[in-house]
Structure 1
Amino acid sequence: MTMSPVDAVVRDPTSVIAAIESRFSCRAFLRDKPVPRQQIDEILRIASCAASSTNTQPWKVYVLQGDRRDALVEKVCAAHDATRADPSSAAEYGEVADYYPSEWVSPYIDRRRHNGWGLYGALGIGKGEKDKMHAQTQRNYRLFDAPVGLMFTMDRVMGRGSLIDYGMFLQTLMLAARALGLHTCPQAAWNNYAKIVTPLIGAGPEEMLVCGMALGYADESAPVNAYRTPREPVESFTRWV
């Protein structure tokens, strides 16, 4: 007999908390350790339990492995190199939607800078080392060597609230991956090259790219995976009214 969600008991809440607290943006994966399809299916099944307003479930997921993964990586990396060689060509691409604010203000710009320089510090990249910075940015487009790339789209007709639903879906997916011993890295960087990504994955013109995600087993020996972003204390963002 299937237990009702109302009656269900979380018998090991520490495991739930551990999945949340151990999630981080993994930036080095084991390329030669594939993820079985049944595990990916299970992660997506669990993620489908995420809440969405009026049960709209606006998410669409494209899974890339093997040759299709590699084809996407090579095409976007080539475009990334081309835009560096000729910055004016960047106008050909660009984001399909405003992911970041048009003007950065404190405290958000401060956190962003702290994160950027903290990450570069962990990688031994100093200010002004543009070649290294370019190579590290391109690691995004190489999926940090993860064997699985996930691309997420949504129908353009949907409203802004569906992006809130999407965020809950993505977080649920990442926690499901942790429960199965895998790691992830959600990536907004792919949005810059949506014009390349969406046709290659077979997304229709009615779909917009929301983000990408790397999925796989973490390279525990990589120094970058020891980097952790700080979190604001609860009292800094909470008001008891």
Structure 2
Amino acid sequence: MNVAEAVASRRSIRAFLDTPVPLETVRRVLDQARMAPSGCNYQPWEAIVLTGAPLKALQDRLAASERDDPQEYDFSAPSAIGPKYHSRLQHLGGQLYGSLGIGRDQREFSKAFSDRNLVSFGAPVLLLCHFPKAMKEPQWSDAGMWLQTIMLLLRGEGLDSCPQEYMGVYGRSIKDHLGLSDDTLLFCGVAIGHRDPESPANNFERDRVPLDDNIRFEGF
């Protein structure tokens, strides 16, 4: 699989098979991802990778926990996001929940599906990305580039992923469970495994705006 194919085939998987993922595969991907861009070569990203009994223990802890209040950082959409961006969010929600036969008025069903985040949609491996709270927005960007590099490398291994900002909502519970200090920011999770090819949640059509809606070219 070349890079363009990895980019085109990567998507947020919301239904995984229970097929195990070998440690050597995960190590190979993470070793290769060390070369992701890093401003000032800080390499701020750190992670804990769970599977098996340790993953189940964390999931049990989260199921019995409340969301952080207040949260360590704001996960909600900006209040001034504007109709252009809000419409994209609404369209995605319509596609995802529509593929599952969940209507806009069926909040109990949409919540039940959203709560599948707590078990990473059945993925057998969960990577939890964290870094010191002293790191600022440029280093958050570095972490994002590292995570994207991981997700593309996973595609090269025939694996799939789902980035889970949702895990940050339970940051304090996760840090307490894993023995991470309060000086650490629990940034996000990445669910890793093999996609369920039959799940509608993995097969709805994804949209992106046309290139010229977001990009302006000059001097060509």
1:199 maps to what in 2? 176
Q: Which amino acid aligns with 1:96?
A: E
Alpha-carbon spacing, 1:15–1:137, altered in 2? closer, same or farther (3 Å): same
1:21 maps to what in 2? 8
Matches within 5 A, 1:81-230: 92-103=68-79, 104-230=81-207
Query: Which shifted more, 102-111 or 22-31?
Result: 102-111
How many Å separate the matches in 1 of 2:205 and 2:181?
37
Q: Which amino acid aligns with 1:93?
A: D
1:67 maps to what in 2? 53
Q: Is the 8 A contact 2:159 2:194 kept in 1?
A: yes
TM-score, normalised to structure 2, is 0.93
How many Å separate the matches in 1 of 2:140 and 2:121?
25
* Unpaired segments ≥5 residues, structure 2: none
Identical positions, percent: 34
How many Å separate the matches in 2 of 1:202 and 1:105?
40
1:99 shift after superposition: 3.5
Number of aligned residue pairs: 217
Q: Is the 8 A contact 1:94 1:193 kept in 2?
A: no
Q: Which amino acid aligns with 1:117?
A: G
1:68 shift after superposition: 1.3
1:228 shift after superposition: 3.5
Give a deviation string over 1:40-98, Cα, whole Å, max 9, x none: 10111111110010110000111011111112112222336xxxxxxxxx5x5343112
Q: Is the 8 A contact 2:33 2:146 kept in 1?
A: yes
How well do the aligned residues superpose, as a CA RMSD in angstroms?
1.5
How many Å separate the matches in 2 of 1:75 and 1:129?
27
TM-score, normalised to structure 1, is 0.86
Q: Which amino acid aligns with 1:153?
A: H
Secondary structure in 2 aligned to 1:214?
Answer: strand
How many Å separate the matches in 1 of 2:205 and 2:65?
30
How many Å separate the matches in 1 of 2:113 and 2:78?
24
How many Å separate the matches in 2 of 1:186 and 1:159?
20
Q: Which amino acid aligns with 2:46?
A: K
1:37 shift after superposition: 0.3
Who wins on radius of gyration, i.e. which is larger?
1
Say which of 23, 30, 36 aligns to 2:17: 30
Alpha-carbon spacing, 1:207–1:182, altered in 2? closer, same or farther (3 Å): same
Give a deviation string over 1:132-171, Cα, whole Å, max 9, x none: 1121011111111000011000111112100111111010
Secondary structure in 1 aligned to 2:2?
Answer: helix
Q: Is the 8 A contact 1:148 1:216 kept in 2?
A: yes
Alpha-carbon spacing, 1:101–1:156, altered in 2? closer, same or farther (3 Å): same
Q: Is the 8 A contact 1:93 1:194 kept in 2?
A: no
* Unpaired segments ≥5 residues, structure 1: 1-13, 81-89
Alpha-carbon spacing, 1:79–1:128, altered in 2? closer, same or farther (3 Å): farther
